Amino acid sequence: MKLNTNFVAWFRSVAPYINAFRGKTFVIAFSGEIVSDEKFVELVHDINLLASLGVRLVLVHGARPQIQTQLTENNLPTKSVMGMRVTDPATLQCVKESAGRVHVEIEALLSMGLPNSPMANASIRVTSGNFVTACPIGVLDGVDLMHTGKVRKINPAAIRSHLELGELVLISPLGYSPTGEIFNLTMENVATETAIALNAEKLIFLLDSIRIEEAETDKPDSLPRELTVVESKLLHKKIMHKSTKHTDEIKQFLHHAIKACEGSVDRVHLINRHIDGAILQELFTHNGIGCMISQESLQTLRKAGIEDVGGILQLIEPLEAEGVLVRRNRELLEIEIERFVILEHDGMMIGCAALYPFSDEKACELACLAVHPDYRNTGYGGLLLKQIEAETVILGYKKIFVLTTHAAHWFIEHGFSETKFTNLPKEKQGLYNYQRRSKVFIKNLQH
């Protein structure tokens, strides 16, 4: 019975994401190292699963290790300038062979319908084309990079026409010029420009070395779960000046993530490729397992409306059952809804608080402060408190008080002092519940 209950709870939790992602365009970029990994088959299954849920997918693959192997086998030297491979005619031949081989292998796996695989009897159509127009990078540091190029433009109309037919688009790190030349491109450059051209909802990079911050750790080489573009630029600047410990890989992908978000991409995800089901865990859980970069903060503080009553009830009912909060029914909430402020994270209600003014005593009561269990001890309660304090000051009042049975230490840490219930406003004293025996705390505010 417990197993069934867990399954139902899990399925309900992912349903909003399935609904939100259907018909949206995601660009997923992965390196040649991933293609060589034996776990690549599992990644392909997850990609096929996304396609079967109605997500419009564009895959961009790399081929660096395969190219290097080909060069070694042909006894061709590797020349680099500022971290970029010099692609002479002989190297270009190896690039074409390696990229072509990787491309075919990926297509074969995406077309797989093994009876025992998660995509048994699935029919995922894969398409490719000359979607990328490229131009040469030219001369760097006195060296001609020859056939090493960069994206000049993407043909979004052609890609969309295939996506609208339900096809999955696969793009190699090669570009073509109007004169028929072929250029060796980077997977990162192609993926970023493709996502921008398509106005993609998400650009997903699978990385080799990425560590995400955990609540119990504070490692200097870890990334936070969320970054805005502004925060990403500050972090990238620190990495460039070597004032923080992050890999060159993080520096490189952070640069492309910033460019994508400043273009037209809603969100960029940096995910550890070594985690099983990494894409699914990142996309279908609220916290995710990677680092998400967005243009603006996902956190919103706003006044509550009548449509928020159901969400507030869902948030406070467990605390009411524990005796932490006084019970409020739906009718009372609907009457008092204008008293509440709501804290949202990525559209999900994670906190609330209410403010009740007592004009005769020039004081306000903070009530019904609640934070979702998954977001406690992360500073969200303090944000709600600051909002309530700001509203109290706007009203011209100098004091705020609270009655609590469980959170005495938290309020003391936030500047409250314990007082007698006789110091409450007269109206509030008349409503005091002697059975709950709530402690009273008060805080004087500065205008």
- Band of pLDDT at residue 346, cut at 50, 70 and 90: confident
Q: List beta partners, residue 364.
A: 357, 400
How is residue 41 written in tokens? 């088959």
Q: Report pTM.
A: 0.80
Residue 341 has pLDDT above 90, yes or no: yes
Burial of residue 414 (number of CB atoms within 10 Å: 0-12, 13-18, 19+): middle
Distance CA 8, CA 262 (A): 39
Looking at per-residue confidence, does 52 or 56 come out higher?
Answer: 56
Q: What is the mean pLDDT of residues 72-78?
A: 91
**Tell me: the pLDDT tens digits for 187-236?**
999 999 999 999 999 999 999 877 777 654 456 678 888 899 999 999 99
**Tell me: the pLDDT tens digits for 411-440?**
999 999 999 988 899 888 888 887 888 999
Q: Which residue stretches of 298-398 are H helix?
A: 309-321, 330-336, 380-394
Distance CA 143, CA 86 (A): 8
Sequence-distant (≥ 6) Cβ neighbours of residue 149 within 8 angstroms: 134, 135, 136, 137, 175, 183, 184, 185
Q: What is the pLDDT of residue 7?
A: 81
Looking at per-residue confidence, does 249 or 58 come out higher?
Answer: 58
Half-sphere exposure of 324 (CA within 13 A, CB side): 13
Distance CA 346, CA 225 (A): 13
Q: What is the pLDDT of residue 118?
A: 52
Distance CA 444, CA 416 (A): 8
Distance CA 444, CA 423 (A): 13
Tell me how many degrees the CA angle 402-405-410 measures, rounded to the nearest 5.
Answer: 65
Q: Is the dihedral of CA 420, 421, 424, 425 positive or negative?
A: negative
Sequence-distant (≥ 6) Cβ neighbours of residue 76 within 8 angstroms: 90, 91, 94
Q: What is the mean pLDDT of residues 55-64?
A: 96
Complete domains list, the chain, with CATH: 2-294 (3.40.1160.10), 299-444 (3.40.630.30)
Q: What is the pLDDT of residue 114?
A: 47
Q: Which amino acid is at 361?
A: E
